[in-house]
Chains A and B, each alone.
With several copies, the nearest count.
Chain A
Amino acid sequence: MALDKNGIAKRIAKEVKNGYYVNLGIGIPTLVANFVRDDIEVEFQSENGVLGMGPFPFDGEEDADIINAGKQTITTMPGASFFDSATSFSMIRGKHVHLTILGAMEVAENGDIANWKIPGKMVKGMGGAMDLVASADNIIVAMMHTNKRGESKLLKKCSLPLTGVGCVTKVVTNLAVLEIKENAFHLLERAPGVSVEEIKNATEGTLIVNGEIPEMKI
């Protein structure tokens, strides 16, 4: 059975290692924080200027001056810090943030990503995404494997304006976990009950299937 958004987030949470500073994008990535193991040390950075984010505030304790990059009210953990935007992107550009998890409209087999614009139709803007993908060494995309019309979002080549080139290292979708290297999607894991065939059918880009593909353990 294909994963839901929480399932994707839960699987990605396993990629978060001890000692990591992590930047979470809007949408599914935000959910990842809920599933990170309690026994490892992790800090969440938000590019609007906070390190050491905690959970949402209790009702009535929200503060307009303390938000995340999704403009949601948040809290901070002990050891947190606030800083200006330039310093925030020093952390990102300077590779001090170890892992970036973000959503995408399209990912290509060479690691290109598109997630900020549909010409003539929709423009959200890139926000901090272009800085994040151009800087981080470890970029995981969290998204549905296909779009609302059933078309693959894992492509040979992105059709939408790019956010970054050759930067995505891993993709976790409702169907699979895939590593990007040598101009191909390498299938690492299947969602529980999802067949390799289903994944092949949903993947437009080059898919490498090497040996037996295990089911995800979530």
Chain B
Amino acid sequence: MINKKVNNVEEALNGVKDGMTFMLGGFGLCGIPENAISELVKLNVRDVTCISNNAGVDDFGLGLLLQNKQIKKMISSYVGENDEFERQMLSGELEVELTPQGTLAEKCRAAQAGFPAFYTPAGFGTEVAEGKETRDFDGKMYVLEPAFKADFAFVKAWKGDAAGNLVFKGTARNFNANMCGAAKITVAEVEELVPVGELDPNQIHIPGIFVQRIFQGKNYEKRIEQRTVRQKN
């Protein structure tokens, strides 16, 4: 077994530099790499490009880096729920590349799987396709989208082991799974680091080969954005 375990978030983020491109898992605040984000704020790396479906909310998640003006460019599918994001974008302070959600996911998967680019129907005929190659297959139009290139991918899993194997919980899997192995270095933080051999080989969501560093995360807040409930009769 190849050991990927590092002792803490500081070790895990070793090598992070100004101007780099990061991938960050999560959908809204669900499944975001909370520890890595806190450390990025602490390290105060600047001028970074972040690939993340959303940018958290004003005071949590990637919103913290936005508040701190550390982000030069965001590549996301959705801005809503974050006023600071929308403000910086509309004012032009922040460069934003809005990308359809499925395209965003596949640009990660393409990087993970060694595909240079792919054709998707999403965005054809819209401003998303402007300047991009389009092509007809069987009478339907597609847009050619390149794979992402990133320096670090920060993902958060439910359980993991020192071999780098990951298991996610519920809808916290989202982009976390697709970003593993999609950057030069993939850093996984886990709610529970279990002994090697404890995870069923048949039930591993991401094999360790896609992960370079793994650590036991701590102090997870796991905030809920929209607490919707019903009452028991």
Contacts and interface: CB of A to CB of B under 8 A. Distances in A.
B2 to A, nearest CB: 4
Nearest to B206: A81
Interface stretch (A88-96, A145-153, A195-203): A88-96
A135 B122 contact: yes
Contacts of A93: 102, 113-115, 120-122
A65 B201 contact: no
Interface in A73-103: 73-74, 76-97
Contacts, number: 266
B2 A73 contact: no
Nearest to B121: A134
B209 interface: yes
Interface size class on chain B is 35 or more
Contacts of B98: 116, 123, 125-126
Contacts of B171: 46, 48-50, 65-68, 82
A51 B90 contact: no
Given A71-B225, A91-B207, A66 B122 contact: no
A65 B162 contact: no
B113 A89 contact: yes
A30 to B, nearest CB: 10
A185 B86 CA distance: 34
Given A73-B226, A95-B114, A82 B170 contact: yes
A85 B178 contact: yes
Interface of A: 19-21, 41-43, 45-52, 55-74, 76-97, 112, 116, 120-131, 134-135, 161-166
Given A43-B163, A57-B229, A64-B172, 7 more contacts: A65-B172, A86-B108, A94-B113, A121-B90, A127-B78, A128-B102, A131-B102
Interface of B: 1-3, 27-31, 53, 76-81, 86, 89-90, 96, 98, 100-106, 108-109, 111-115, 120-128, 158, 161-163, 165, 168-178, 181, 196-197, 201-202, 204-205, 207-210, 222-232
Minimum-distance CB pairs A-B, first 10: A89-B102, A93-B114, A79-B163, A131-B102, A165-B125, A78-B197, A90-B113, A84-B177, A85-B105, A130-B100
